[in-house]
Amino acid sequence: MTDIPPRPAPVISCRNVWKVFGPRPEAALAALRADPGARPEGHVTAVHDVSLDIMPGEMLVVMGLSGSGKSTLVRCLSRLNEITAGEILIEGQDIGKLNEAALIDLRRRKMGMVFQSFGLLPNRNALENVAFPLEMRGQPRAARIERAREMLALVGLKGREGYFPRELSGGQQQRVGIARSLAVEPDIWFLDEPFSALDPLIRREMQDEFLRLKGMLKKTIIFITHDFDEALRLADRIAIMKDGRVEQIDTPGRIVLQPATDYVARFTAEIDRARVLHVSGLAGPVAGRAIEGPALPGGQTLRDLARRLVNDSRDWIPVADGTGRVTGMLERRHALDILLGEAA
């Protein structure tokens, strides 16, 4: 336990962030701090004492039902909303202390955001919408049009450059929104329920598209959703929010196996765990047991490997990482319990 490499500095770091809406947020906050159960009249606590770190290249999914404060939290991270108390550091810099010019500069260079209802400008065509952030920072016309074309090609909208938002389908509009958010090559990418307004089939397609972009671009991503399945499918880590508080922040596997609160447990109860749990997450240490036969690829889920697990006859099966190195042993009976349900 001593040779852990030094943790890299977080890209975003929240320290005891509060956001209270209402006529007198400061007073309401004081009351809340004195008594956590208080409900100051006329005020809504959208973000309740949240602290979290987001590492470079990590994808954090913030999951919660409507009104849980997830959208407000992400708007605090980009300072679209001013926080009531606490501090938010982006690459070590307290964004609450930035003046307007510095904040605008930060958004122009570092941040991109995708919105639930797309937030496209109706009077500009797809190309001009994507070029908008570049126009804001004063890039010359030819260069920004060139860049916007590239971005539209990247999201698969080549040939639709001249279309206006109302001439595009919902999925296509969101592709424009994604292209726009990526036009400035941001390091931090916020996505606020980007696929919630889309039909289920399109949503699935857009999730695949998103995973493709994510693999290509290597950005720090904060992704908001109210859809637990979507969160499990996309996340490195999930933060589950309720009433402005973060109930649990962990990897999908740990959230499913060890829910921190009853609330989280209720979410995970309906979930097919085999689809979520990766073999590597389930494997224990080798602990001197003999490694025999072919190893299972650790990056796959139990469901992916179901047939092999059923047909295998070993009690303990080795699990290997991407390079083929054995990292642990999986107890087959335990895996089958999860896959098929506990034996009666």
Partner 1 sequence: MSMVDRIDLSSSSPRPHAVCLMLGLAAVLILGRDFLPAELLRLPDWLVVPFAHWINAGFAFLRDDLGLMQVTRAFAAMLEWLLDVTANILYGKNRWPRLGPLPWSVVAISMAALGWWLGGWKLAALAGGTFVWIAVMGQWQWAMETLSVIVVAAPFSVLAGLILGIMAWRWTAVQRVLNPILNVAQSLPHFAYMIPVVVFIGVGPKAGAIVTIIFSVPPMIRMTGLGLRKVPEEVIEAGRMSGATPWQLLTRVRIPTARRDILIGVNQVIMQCLAMVVLASFIGMPGLGQKLLQLLQALKIGLSVEIGITIVLIAVVLDRLSRAWAKRQPLHHAEGLSWARRHPVLLVWTVAIALAFALSLVFPLLAQVPRRDALSIAAPVDALVDWLIRLVDPVTTWLRWFLITWVLIPLRDAILWLPFSAVLLAVAAAGWAVGGWRSALVMLGFIGAIALSGWWDRAMITVYMVGFSVFLATLIGFPLGIWASASETRANRVLLVCDSLQTFPSFIYLIPVVMLFGVNDVAVVMAVVTFAAVPLVRYTIEGLRGVAPELIEAAHMSGTTRRQMLWHVQLPMAAPVMLVGVNQSVMFSLFMVIIAAFIGTQDLGQELQRALSASDVGKGMVLGLAVAFLGLAVDHLITRQAQRMGTGAGG
The two tokens of residue 46 are 């959208």
Instruction: By CB under 8 A, tell whether 78 contacts partner 1.
Output: yes
Strand order across the beta sheet in which 326-331 lies: 296-297, 316-320, 326-331
Instruction: By CB under 8 A, tell whether 199 contacts partner 1.
Output: no
User: Residue type at 239?
Assistant: A
Instruction: By CB under 8 A, tell whether 120 contacts partner 1.
Output: yes
Residues near partner 1 (CB under 8 A), total: 39
The two tokens of residue 129 are 């919408």
Instruction: By CB under 8 A, tell whether 174 contacts partner 1.
Output: no
Strand order across the beta sheet in which 111-114 lies: 111-114, 188-192, 220-225, 59-63, 237-242, 245-250
From residue 141 to residue 160, the character string flagging contacts with partner 1 as x (rule: CB under 8 A) and all else as - is ------------------x-
End-to-end CA distance of the chain: 39
Instruction: By CB under 8 A, tell whether 170 contacts partner 1.
Output: no
Pick the piece of the chain touching partner 1 (CB under 8 A) from 110-118, 204-212, 244-252, 255-263.
Answer: 110-118
Identify which of residues 78 and 207 has a Cβ nearer to partner 1 in the complex. 78
What 3 state SS string does 68-131 have? CCHHHHHHHHCCCCCCCEEEEEECCEEHHHCCHHHHHHHHHHHEEEECCCCCCCCCCCHHHHHH
Among 113, 145, 249, 279, binds partner 1 (CB under 8 A): 113
Instruction: By CB under 8 A, tell whether 98 contacts partner 1.
Output: no
Identify which of residues 192 and 250 has a Cβ nearer to partner 1 in the complex. 192
Q: Cβ distance 222 to 189 under 8 Å?
A: yes
Shortest distance, position 311 Cβ to partner 1, whole Å = 51
- Say which residues have a Cβ less than 8 Å from residue 54's Cβ, sequence separation at least 6: 10, 11, 12, 13, 60, 220, 222
Among 13, 68, 84, 116, binds partner 1 (CB under 8 A): 116
Among 56, 67, 96, 164, binds partner 1 (CB under 8 A): 164
Among 9, 65, 102, 136, binds partner 1 (CB under 8 A): 136
Binding site for partner 1 (CB under 8 A): 75, 78, 80, 100, 104-105, 107-108, 111-113, 115-125, 132-133, 135-137, 159, 161-164, 166-167, 177, 180-181, 184, 190
